Structure 1
Amino acid sequence: MMKFAILASAVAAVSLASPALAQEDSTAGGKFVAGAIVGVDSVNTEVDGFSDAEEDLLVGVTIGYDFETETGLLIGAEVEYSDSSVGVSTTDFTIPGDRVSINAGRDLYVGARLGYRTGRNGLLYVKAGYTDASIEGEYDDGTGEISDEISFGGLRIGAGGEIDLSSNYAIRVEYRYSDYGDLEFLGVNTGIGVSRNQGIVTLLGKF
């Protein structure tokens, strides 16, 4: 339900952004953007048809470049760094009583946005790109514990809305989904599928 609430909020906010201002100065052209991110990160794991999810805080920063045409079409590129405190675990993984823990760490993203301006200060967009996540894994079989920190990549898609607060500041509300496939730990495919649902708010500066 979180992703639908995020999208609904973005669409409603952008739809209410004042279209009456459309006759003012054009927003066409290129701008660099940079911003601070805060939101909710939900890491989902699935093993043998059983799934679990854990939610926690997500913070990060983003930089990018947007180019907007006179017709309101926007094309942008962005890079993002974020960090999360989410942790998930499962027991009885290979033998009764053992435990595997997965703790999310930094996440790097590079991708593109495609949007359309709905008014002078409103924009709806979709996005897609590559995400590389860092995860720390721990395995305890009851006699000892081993750990390893790994990184692995996946695909991210998302959608959201952006409202200009002024010519130099804007706010985004966004939902995105990332799929990393099966987790490999200590060189072995664990069969644990990992994905993420995230709802974020970004305060942007434009220059």
Structure 2
Amino acid sequence: MKIAFVSVLSLLAAVSVASAAHAEMFNGPTVGVQAGWVENKVGDTTTNFGATAVNGSKDSATLGGLFGYDKQFGKFVVGGEAGFNFGTSDKVAGGTGTTQATIDPKRSFDLTTRTGYLVLPQTLLYARAGYTNDRVQTTLTPSSGTVSASEDRDGWLVGGGIERAITSDVSARVEYRYGDLSDGHGRYDRHQVLSGVVFHF
């Protein structure tokens, strides 16, 4: 009888420990998908062809994925994440005189850290900051013929969002990000609103 009682207590303790560990939603590796809206704002930015007379902005849809790792310390969560996104129909056009120009972001990737606070047991409010990179194709169309070149633009980003557990190992989130990819003369800004579904392991 004593052995059975001890066994039951051990089983209950094991279940309690497992439940407590399982309750820490934001603790461990993650993978997910994300989609949303992106606006690229360009103002006479420097490219491989020098300063281009492109002044404008373009809104488009974006789609991508993410990989990360979180560590939970009580109600605080810190983590790192790598993400990538692809835009659609996001060329920014401009030019002067007989020369037309377009700046076309092909893809972006980010390496960031985030710090968050659990405002509710299943709801994380967080801030994000880190490195971002855009692969950009610039095309000029003068009277002599079309020329184009691609380059990688390095920059930084900041943002924040809210993430909510919807099952024991799946969460959903909404986030805003601002990225500055200016290099030399001019301006190159990126605004994103992303929603995502994240799987926790």
Asked if TM exceeds 0.5, the reply is yes
The percentage of aligned residue pairs carrying the same residue is 23
In the TM superposition, residue 192 of structure 1 has moved relative to its aligned partner by 3.8
In the alignment, what sits opposite 2:10? none
Which 5+ residue runs of structure 2 have no aligned equivalent? Answer: 1-18, 46-53
Deviating above 2 A after TM superposition, structure 1's stretches of 4 or more consecutive aligned residues are none
TM-score normalised by L of structure 1: 0.78
TM-score normalised by L of structure 2: 0.81
Give 2:71's match in structure 1, choosing from 67, 79, 104.
Answer: 67
In the alignment, what sits opposite 2:15? none
- For 1:172, the aligned partner's letter is R
CA distance in 2, matches of 1:39, 1:132: 18
In the alignment, what sits opposite 2:44? 47
Per-residue deviation, residues 35-79 of structure 1 (Å, max 9, x unmatched):
00100010001139x952101110000000000112x10000000
- For 1:144, what is the secondary structure of its paired residue? coil
Per-residue deviation, residues 106-139 of structure 1 (Å, max 9, x unmatched):
1111010000001111110000010111011101
- For 2:193, the aligned partner's letter is G
In the TM superposition, residue 148 of structure 1 has moved relative to its aligned partner by 0.5
Q: Against the structure 1 CA distance between its residues 29 and 126, is the aligned structure 2 distance closer, same or farther, given a 3 Å change threshold? A: closer
In the alignment, what sits opposite 1:33? 30
- For 2:59, the aligned partner's letter is E
In the alignment, what sits opposite 2:3? none
In the TM superposition, residue 202 of structure 1 has moved relative to its aligned partner by 0.6
Q: Is the 1:162–1:170 Cα contact (8 Å) retained in structure 2?
A: yes
Q: Is the 1:139–1:146 Cα contact (8 Å) retained in structure 2?
A: yes
In the alignment, what sits opposite 2:5? none
In the alignment, what sits opposite 1:200? 194
- For 2:102, what is the secondary structure of its paired residue? strand
- For 2:78, the aligned partner's letter is I
> How many aligned residue pairs are there?
173
Give 1:58's match in structure 2, choosing from 55, 59, 62.
Answer: 62
Q: What is the CA RMSD across the aligned residues, in angstroms?
A: 2.0
Q: Is the 1:118–1:124 Cα contact (8 Å) retained in structure 2?
A: yes
